């Protein structure tokens, strides 16, 4: 049986998630042995127009990004978005909180209207094309990446947590940071990181995105105990949950 051909692409991002893949060390050799990597700008110079699986990092912030992404999607059977930039728009979506002309002027000054500096509101990958699987986090977790890829290669559906960070945090026996005055987003954010931040004394700031179906009543009870509501909690998610609506393009 021929090995699936895999290509890895990046859009607007810091490339930290690709670095997580590179840093898999000996595990990467095992994974690479199971597939044919035909394009990966960060790690090789070859390019290809033929691949079965695209792994995509980064968010869409320019008109040409969108066109390139459509081409990638048209060539593959499976598209996997990796990292917060790709899965939810990530930190790049902070731009969407402001009017685009102001953002351009602030960043590019008198050159703001030069055609090669054209920019659009930031979108996650699934706001442009269909995404088959998402690997969340900023950056992605190496173990989770390996797990998802292994499952897919074996024809299994990977289990992506559909419960909040609080579940993992409580399982670790951590004291709740709300007791110490930190507005932790754990009740509404997707688990899977092992409650990494609260376990180190920092509030969860939402890098894995909202869970699809939060238990709003339970979250309300917990949050209400501290005199807040779910909307207030969401308003604290500026870093990774900035608004999706159109800016003045
Ligand atoms: S999700 Fe975070 S680590 Fe990954 S590319 Fe975006 S900014 Fe970098
Ligand atoms: S709110 Fe934060 S600190 Fe409290 S239990 Fe949930 S994840 Fe842990
Ligand atoms: S605790 Fe929250 S911010 Fe920290 S890694 Fe997990 S999801 Fe991301």
pLDDT in tens, 142-201: 999 999 999 999 999 999 999 999 999 999 999 999 999 888 989 889 999 999 999 999
pLDDT higher than threshold 50 for residue 245: no
Residue 42 dihedral angles phi and psi, to the nearest 5°: -70, -20
Per-residue pLDDT, 246: 42
Whole-angstrom distance, CA of residue 232 vs CA of residue 201: 21
pLDDT surpassing 90 at residue 75: yes
104-146 pLDDT, tens per residue? 999 999 999 998 888 899 999 999 999 999 999 999 999 999 9
Query: What average pLDDT is seen over the chain?
Result: 90
The mean per-residue pLDDT over the stretch 195-224 comes to 88
CA distance 58 to 40: 14
Sheet holding 53-57, edge to edge: 36-40, 5-10, 53-57, 78-82, 133-135
Q: State the pLDDT at residue 229.
A: 80
Please, which pLDDT band fits residue 240 given cuts at 50, 70 and 90?
Answer: confident
Answer whether residue 247 shows pLDDT above 70.
no
Q: Which ligand 2 atom is at minimum distance from the Cα of 178?
A: 4
CA distance 92 to 57: 12
Most informative mutation of 164, 171, 174, 185 for ligand 2 (most atoms within 8 A of CB): 174
Strands 5-10 and 78-82: unpaired
- Across residues 50-76, what is the average pLDDT? 96
How many whole angstroms separate alpha carbon 122 and alpha carbon 97? 10
Mutation test of ligand 1: which of 61, 83, 137, 242 has the most ligand atoms closer than 8 Å to its C-beta?
83
248: pLDDT strictly greater than 50 = no
Distance (Å) from CA 84 to ligand 3 centroid: 11
CA angle 32, 47, 143 (to 5 degrees): 30
219 alpha carbon – ligand 2 mean position (Å): 11
Question: Distance of alpha carbon 200 from its chain centroid, rounded?
Answer: 22
Cα–ligand 2 centroid distance for 232 (angstroms): 16
Q: What percent of the chain has pLDDT over 70?
A: 96
CB of 189 shorter than 6 A to ligand 2: no
Residue 247 in contact with ligand 2 by CB distance below 6 A: no
Q: Which of 223, 214, 126 is nearest to 184 (CA)?
A: 223
Ligand 2 touching residue 219 (CB < 6 A): no
Q: Are the CB atoms for 136 and 160 separated by under 8 Å?
A: yes
The more confidently predicted of residues 230 and 245 is 230
Contact yes or no for 134/88 (Cβ under 8 A): no
CA 238 to ligand 2 center in whole angstroms: 18
Mean pLDDT of 221-225: 81
Strand-pair partners of 57: 10, 82
User: Is 206 touching ligand 1 by the criterion CB < 6 Å?
Assistant: no
Provide the whole-model pTM: 0.91
Cα–Cα distance between 137 and 156 in angstroms, integer? 22
When mean pLDDT is compared across 49-58, 205-214, 237-246, the lowest value belongs to 237-246
Q: Is the CB of 184 under 6 A from ligand 2?
A: yes
| Most confidently modeled range among 15-24, 206-215, 228-237, 240-249 | 15-24
Ligand 1 centroid to Cα of residue 60, in Å, is 13
Q: Residue whose CA is closest, atom 6 of ligand 2?
A: 166
Instruction: Please tell me the predicted confidence (pLDDT) of residue 34.
Output: 87
Angstrom distance (rounded) from CA 31 to CA 249: 42
Residue 236: predicted pLDDT: 78
């Amino acid at each position: 049986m021929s090995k699936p051909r895999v290509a890895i692409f990046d859009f607007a991002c810091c490339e930290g998630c690709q670095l997580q893949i590179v840093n898999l060390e000996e595990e990467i050799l095992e994974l690479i042995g199971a597939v044919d990597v035909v394009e990966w700008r960060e790690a090789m110079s070859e390019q290809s127009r033929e691949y079965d699986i695209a792994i995509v990092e980064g968010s869409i912030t320019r008109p040409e990004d969108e066109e390139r992404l459509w081409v990638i999607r048209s060539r593959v059977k499976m598209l996997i978005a990796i990292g917060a930039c790709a899965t939810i728009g990530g930190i790049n979506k902070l731009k969407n909180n402001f009017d685009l002309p102001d953002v351009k002027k602030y960043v590019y000054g008198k050159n703001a209207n030069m055609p090669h500096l054209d920019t659009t509101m930031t979108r996650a990958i699934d706001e442009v094309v269909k995404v088959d699987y998402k690997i969340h986090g900023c950056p992605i977790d190496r173990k989770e990446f390996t797990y998802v890829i292994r499952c897919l290669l074996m024809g299994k559906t990977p289990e992506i947590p559909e419960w909040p960070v609080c579940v993992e945090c409580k399982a670790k026996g951590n004291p709740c940071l709300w007791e110490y005055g930190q507005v932790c987003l754990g009740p509404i954010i997707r688990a899977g990181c092992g409650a990494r931040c609260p376990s180190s004394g920092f509030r969860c700031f939402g890098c894995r995105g909202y869970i699809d179906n939060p238990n709003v009543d339970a979250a309300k009870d917990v949050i209400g105990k501290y005199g807040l509501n779910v909307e207030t909690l969401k308003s604290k998610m500026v870093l990774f949950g900035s608004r999706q609506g159109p800016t003045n393009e």
